[in-house]
Structure 1
Amino acid sequence: MSDSPAADRLVELIPAIMERWDERVRAEVSAAADSDEIILRDSLAPMLQVMAKVLAEQTDPRTAARDLGLMTVHGKERASQVAYSMGAMILECHILQETVLEFLEPEQHLETRDRGVIIQYFNELVRVAAGEFSGVQQTLQNYAHGLVKVDRAKDEFLAMLGHELRNPLGAISTALFVLREGSASRAAQDGALAVATRQALHMKRMLDDLLDLARINEGTISLQLSPVDLGTEVQLAVDAAQTTFDLRKHTVSLSLPQERISVMADQVRLGQCLANLFANAAKYTNVGGRIEVFLEREGEIGVVRVRDNGIGIPAHLLASIFDVFQQAPRTLDRAEGGMGIGLTIVRRLIERHGGWVEATSQGTGKGSEFVVRLPALEAVPDAAAPQLTRAGGVRVLVVEDSVDAAEMMASALELLGHHVVVAHDGPAALAAVVLGCPDIALVDIGLPGMNGYDLAAQLRASGWCPSSMKLMAVTGYAADPQALAAAGFDGHMIKPLDFQKLEEALARRSGDRSSPAGTALMEPPGSPSVADPPPGDE
């Protein structure tokens, strides 16, 4: 018992107050009419108990209401319920106040002070709940607005992708028309072939970027890390971009330090990042512009700076310039080309290397600077450059359901001096193997009927060919290394095939045929040397 009869009576009446409040809210608040749980039994009773304690001890009701914290939860919960508005939630609190006074006043003849305490307590509860409700609503609105922006950006990206793919396809189609016309001169035919080749490579780069972005987002991209001379990679990337620089008449300066700066990196992926940055600088710098590339060491960090005097980046886009589907409206007619995902790939890959990348700009028309920072190594001995051995006489089984793709792949391999057999499905491949085991089988994963996994498993289980026969999966999408290894594959390649890499693999296979153990044809599925965290750990 306390010295406050009102406080004692309030504790006794809590169950009745809760029941009465539930009835009134269902009747008077439309959002609560059909709800199964209106009374928050874990919070409403403690809320009233604290109010009884305030009445008994004559403490500050506003402080007690703020310290309670239950209305914070209540405000968040009500804000997350679609049917509830701010007004509906406040009405609930007002009904609770009326219900408490309704039960206490007839019996206790509440003193003016007690009545004032109850009103102050509920006013503070409403203020806290309303603040939380408003905050959650604002967060939800911001999230919905963000989803709308992303959805709009995706639509724009898909429309632009269709445009970007249509351009090279149009050039290739025209080149094929010229090649089919017998009256075309040899020079015209050579020019058409050059155009088709160049545009096919352009399409391959775009598709590679799309595939890389998907694999990065899924956490399935693997990095082959080794000590790399950062200066050499920057020099190579600048040299590779020189044609683009020359076409746009840019003046390019390169500043490299005397000391060697080595980083632990995937050489191919690092080169891809640098190439994207240089292409970005060339593309968004007006003809005859200036591009400066610097490499320096800052403590334990290797720093690459790419600075241009181009069109710059608006201040409101700097924070999102590396986000996927985000791109500055630099050229409305998109005469520069590109899909706008290159910078996203740069950031994701650099972060996978333990580094970071940032962009700065003084604004539109004032140029921009992109800075890549990577952890530098102490000292790394020079590695001997690998010697490529020309493959010769390798027996290759091509298993591909697309007749055109299989025919072209076979023609290319035969031009390189290999012996090729083609099969368009699993049973035909098994029949071909019975007639003669290949040194290597290039197996499309998406075969009709018996897919590539099933075919590889059956080939391994049959015992028709020695274990030295290499199985290479060929796929147009990101492959699961564990599934490939379980089926018996020795590695995989992504469509469209990079014939330089394929030739290197075949050369190794040619040199290994006399070795009982041999060496890995390509990166084995699930190789422990791959510096790649499990999906979901990023």
Structure 2
Amino acid sequence: MTTPSAPVQVSPLVAHWLHHNRDYAVLVLDPHGIVQEWLGAAERILGHAPHEAVGRSVELVFTPEDRERRYHEYELKVAAEDAYSEDSRWHLRKDGTRIWVTGSVSPVRGADGAILGYVKVMRDMTDQRAKTERVEHEMVQLGEAREQTRVFLRKLGHEVRNPLAVLTNTAFILERLVTDERGRKAVKQLSNQLGILTNLADDLMDVNRLELGKVNLSKARIDFRELLEDVVEGMQQQAARKSIQLEALLPPTPLPVEADFSRMQQVCVNLIDNAIKYTPQGGSVWVKVSQEGNEVVCRIQDNGIGIFPPVLPKLFDLFTQAPQGQEMRGGGIGVGLALVRQLVELHGGTVQAKSPGIGKGAEFVFRLPSPEPDTMAGPSSAA
């Protein structure tokens, strides 16, 4: 055992800090890594009393595998050559337990620049390390759950579409065979519900393809007013069934965008359908579009049930539904808005939802970049 050298002289202020400090272990080492002083919270953190540690190599606190790698020598070498050494690693307590320690080693030099020793400062961060590992584990689990969801959606879409094809053909045949009014009404209801299920299956498949980046856009220059006119006209009958006034407020001049017509049509249908679903009998839905700077901005407003404020930040996540809308007939399962967000973002745009609160209606706004005149020449294709 090496004979300890004379204690390092410190100021009263530093001595007071070392005596009362409960967070940092301070080890004073000689040039060869032999412990000369065992200060601060060293005994509380590492378990060794000062007389058990002084005179022994600093490798005392390193794990067996780090001793084998000679890390206790390596950090002194780094400190000597680079002013200080800093790292986080597992260290060993007297009782054999491991603690996650973060700290640094700094050289102490004489007037001639020669190294007189080192000061190693350590802090026990085991609790924070455990929290970090728990978060990392949860992230892995979330990633696995997300992948399982993708697989489930893909299988569900295929499994649903196969019987739907048979049922749709059956409904088509029944439309031509049934002649009485009561039977025709039943077949029409059947066809309508099959249409809803088909759209749901398509949305599930689209969400899965978008998650995997397998959706291609066939972009072309379009006038967004014309697209909205077609969508609103096609949804008037759906609105009329609830006595909802569906109105399009469109500007007199063209609103050019570079977009996939069918995909943006899908976005508008989903948003207007959502507004109709969550607007009570006799309400109103307004569709507005305008040019704002270099963006075309579309707003779908309603005077329906509104949105619960805490739900707004995650409304476009998959399978999210506002609590107040879950009991409404035809409320869906929370796929449509997730699809809207992904398609709008794929076009380089943004989408957001606003609502003053429950019972005060809602507004969905999406923005698309509007190309300059010299960039609106013909169709293009983008992934």
TM superposition score normalised by structure 2: 0.65
* 1:8 equivalent in structure 2: 31
Distance 1:249-1:314 versus aligned 2 partners, 3 A rule: same
The answer to whether the aligner puts 1:208 opposite 2:236 as a matched pair is: no
Q: Is the 8 A contact 2:59 2:72 kept in 1?
A: no
- Determine the C-alpha separation between the residues in 1 that align with 2:354 and 2:71: 50
Deviation at 1:179, TM superposition (A): 8.1
* 1:237 equivalent in structure 2: 231
Distance 1:222-1:261 versus aligned 2 partners, 3 A rule: same
Deviation at 1:212, TM superposition (A): 1.3
Distance 1:6-1:223 versus aligned 2 partners, 3 A rule: closer
- Determine the C-alpha separation between the residues in 1 that align with 2:294 and 2:211: 29
Deviation at 1:336, TM superposition (A): 1.9
Classify the secondary structure of the residue corresponding to 1:70: strand
The answer to whether the aligner puts 1:126 opposite 2:120 as a matched pair is: no
Cα deviation 1:366-413 (Å, max 9, x = unaligned): 322111111113459999xxxxxxxxxxxxxxxxxxxxxxxxxxxxxx
The answer to whether the aligner puts 1:289 opposite 2:283 as a matched pair is: yes
Deviation at 1:177, TM superposition (A): 12
Q: 1:341 is aligned with what amino acid?
A: V
Deviation at 1:47, TM superposition (A): 3.6
- Determine the C-alpha separation between the residues in 1 that align with 2:123 and 2:71: 14
* 1:509 equivalent in structure 2: none
Distance 1:326-1:148 versus aligned 2 partners, 3 A rule: farther
- Determine the C-alpha separation between the residues in 1 that align with 2:280 and 2:288: 21
Distance 1:309-1:93 versus aligned 2 partners, 3 A rule: closer
Deviation at 1:88, TM superposition (A): 4.7
Classify the secondary structure of the residue corresponding to 2:232: helix
- Determine the C-alpha separation between the residues in 2 that align with 1:369 and 1:282: 12
Q: Is the 8 A contact 2:171 2:191 kept in 1?
A: no
1:352 maps to which of 336, 346, 349: 346
Distance 1:70-1:328 versus aligned 2 partners, 3 A rule: same
- Determine the C-alpha separation between the residues in 1 that align with 2:67 and 2:274: 59
Classify the secondary structure of the residue corresponding to 2:329: coil
* 2:370 equivalent in structure 1: 376
Q: List 4+ stretches of structure 1 deviating above 6 A.
A: 50-54, 91-94, 147-154, 171-180, 380-383
Distance 1:44-1:248 versus aligned 2 partners, 3 A rule: farther
Deviation at 1:324, TM superposition (A): 1.6
1:90 maps to which of 90, 99, 105: 99
Q: Is the 8 A contact 1:250 1:287 kept in 2?
A: yes
The answer to whether the aligner puts 1:530 opposite 2:376 as a matched pair is: no
Classify the secondary structure of the residue corresponding to 1:204: helix
* 1:307 equivalent in structure 2: 301
* 1:326 equivalent in structure 2: 320
Distance 1:266-1:134 versus aligned 2 partners, 3 A rule: same
Classify the secondary structure of the residue corresponding to 2:360: coil
Distance 1:50-1:38 versus aligned 2 partners, 3 A rule: closer
- Determine the C-alpha separation between the residues in 2 that align with 1:321 and 1:211: 20
Deviation at 1:150, TM superposition (A): 6.6
Cα deviation 1:73-126 (Å, max 9, x = unaligned): x37xx9xxxxxxxx95438799xx9xxxxxxxxxxxxxxxx99x85xx43xx21
Cα deviation 1:150-184 (Å, max 9, x = unaligned): 79999x999x99xx99xx99x9899799889x9x7
Q: Is the 8 A contact 1:157 1:339 kept in 2?
A: no
Cα deviation 1:318-339 (Å, max 9, x = unaligned): 2211112322223344522423
- Determine the C-alpha separation between the residues in 2 that align with 1:276 and 1:373: 16
Equivalenced residues, count: 320
Deviation at 1:229, TM superposition (A): 0.5
Q: 2:135 is aligned with what amino acid?
A: T
Deviation at 1:234, TM superposition (A): 1.3
The answer to whether the aligner puts 1:279 opposite 2:273 as a matched pair is: yes
Q: Is the 8 A contact 1:11 1:49 kept in 2?
A: no
Q: 2:33 is aligned with what amino acid?
A: L
- Determine the C-alpha separation between the residues in 1 that align with 2:70 and 2:320: 45
Q: Is the 8 A contact 2:267 2:343 kept in 1?
A: yes
- 1:102-121 aligned within 5 A: 121=120
Structure 2: 5+ residue stretches without partners:
1-5, 9-27, 37-55, 106-115
Q: Is the 8 A contact 2:278 2:328 kept in 1?
A: no
Classify the secondary structure of the residue corresponding to 2:217: coil
Counting aligned pairs with the same residue, the percent is 28
Classify the secondary structure of the residue corresponding to 1:326: coil
Provide the alpha-carbon RMSD of the alignment: 4.9
- Determine the C-alpha separation between the residues in 2 that align with 1:351 and 1:217: 12
* 2:136 equivalent in structure 1: 140
* 2:87 equivalent in structure 1: 70
- Determine the C-alpha separation between the residues in 2 that align with 1:146 and 1:316: 22
* 2:42 equivalent in structure 1: none
2:212 maps to which of 218, 234, 248: 218
Distance 1:145-1:309 versus aligned 2 partners, 3 A rule: farther
- 1:139-218 aligned within 5 A: 139-140=135-136, 143=139, 186-218=180-212
- Determine the C-alpha separation between the residues in 1 that align with 2:279 and 2:196: 21
Classify the secondary structure of the residue corresponding to 2:324: coil
Distance 1:202-1:6 versus aligned 2 partners, 3 A rule: closer
- Determine the C-alpha separation between the residues in 2 that align with 1:186 and 1:369: 44
Q: Is the 8 A contact 1:350 1:356 kept in 2?
A: yes
Higher relative contact order, structure no. (Cα contacts within 8 Å, ≥ 6 residues apart):
2
Structure 1: 5+ residue stretches without partners:
27-36, 58-63, 79-86, 98-113, 384-527, 533-538
